[in-house]
Amino acid sequence: MISDNPALKDWLAQVAPEAGALEPIAGDAGSRAYFRLNTKPCPRVVMVAPAQREACQAYRQVGELMTQAGLHVPQVLACDLDAGLMLLEDLGHHDYLSALDGPDAHGLMDDAIDALVRWQAATRPDVLAPYDGKRLADELDLFPTWYVQRHLGYRPDAQWVERWSEGCAQLVAAACEQPQVWVHRDYMARNLIVSAPNPGVIDFQDALMGPVTYDVVSLLRDAFYSFSQTEEALWIARYAERARAAGIALPTDCQRAVDWMGAQRHLKVLGIFARLRYRDQKPRYLEDAPRFWGYLHRELGGYPELADLAALLAELPEPSR
């Protein structure tokens, strides 16, 4: 077990000698592990990212950018970059996913949109790496590789591959045409903590410079929670109003931009979830595949330009497991 690692125990003895036992925290879909330390007067979080020096450096860099933008993120209290160890402020147990069905949901979403606008408004060029066309296209390649071939057991022919490539090129081109801002890349309920000030934002180390609607999609078409279309339209309008007031450039047709960006993200995530199941032995993520198919039917169904991509996906067999 990671928590039994002697190097980790030795490091904690130096940076948090008063700490007790490590309590595992449900982590993200990556290889990082998180533990809560019940220290006095307040708990701390340990992030263990073996052989991920760059990820730890990125965490510090992006955390500083978010703090400067007025967002509430965990302070880095101690770190060993070479060992991939970080001691972080604990923002609490209560994430948005556990609160969105409660009476405070409206206020929580209002806060999340305000924080997102502050983050985007702070954008400066040449700070974060670009979320460019190659990266977006590489992400889409995960879908035929892992979901279509590995999960469905379907071997697409040359015509299918050609049509798929044409559809992907449309989605990537549309994303690259959007105004570019700082992008969290997983700005969703599980990564937003109910806190004061609200929200606390976590899991931001993979941030890039990318399409302005990307984090809007992450927030409103969540991997683990679905808003009604009426609620979603309200929040898109609220976001657009505040973004424009903050001087953030938006696509002329914001709804179209959200839908096309959503199609790219949700095809990518289906590929990632299939990879998590078969390569990383983490099957639980793929259980949410029906939610993503629901999003995709909406995102592709309203646009004649994407009709062939929609038809291509409709030709795929149903998963047998």
Apex CA 24: angle with CA 16 and CA 108, to 5°?
95
Look at residue 265 and tell me whether its pLDDT is greater than 70.
yes
pLDDT at 321: 44
Which spans in 178-306 are helix H?
Answer: 214-220, 229-245, 254-278, 289-301
Tell me, what amino acid is at 203?
D
pLDDT-derived band at 4 (thresholds 50, 70, 90) equals low
Residues 261 and 178 sit within 8 Å (Cβ to Cβ): yes
pLDDT at 318: 80
Q: Output the six-digit token pair for 303.
A: 């646009």
User: For all residues of the chain together, what is the average pLDDT?
Assistant: 93
pLDDT at 155: 96
pLDDT at 1: 44
pLDDT at 82: 87
| Chain segment 158-207, per-residue pLDDT in tens | 999 999 999 999 999 999 999 999 999 999 999 999 999 999 999 999 99
Look at residue 31 and tell me whether its pLDDT is greater than 80.
no
Least confident of 11-20, 131-140, 212-221, 289-298: 11-20
Look at residue 259 and tell me whether its pLDDT is greater than 90.
yes
- Looking up tokens 């999960």 gives 151
Return the CA Rg of the chain: 20
Beta strands in the chain (DSSP E): 22-25, 33-37, 44-48, 76-80, 85-89, 180-183, 192-193, 200-201, 208-211
pLDDT at 189: 97
Q: What is the DSSP letter of 319?
A: P
Mean per-residue pLDDT, 89-117: 96
- Domain architecture of the chain: domains with CATH: 2-89 (3.30.200.20), 96-314 (3.90.1200.10)
Residue, of 196 and 42, whose pLDDT is higher: 196
Cα–Cα distance for residue pair 112/118, rounded to 1 Å: 10
Q: Which of 44, 47, 22 is nearest to 34 (CA)?
A: 47
pLDDT at 6: 79
Cis peptide before 125 (omega within 30 of 0): no
pLDDT-derived band at 26 (thresholds 50, 70, 90) equals confident
pTM: 0.94
Look at residue 19 and tell me whether its pLDDT is greater than 80.
no
pLDDT at 9: 86
CA distances from 162 to 121, 144, 159, 270, 311 (A): 39, 12, 5, 20, 14
Look at residue 284 and tell me whether its pLDDT is greater than 50.
yes
pLDDT-derived band at 266 (thresholds 50, 70, 90) equals very high
| Chain segment 57-93, per-residue pLDDT in tens | 999 999 999 999 999 999 999 999 888 899 999 999 8
CB atoms within 10 A of CB 135: 13
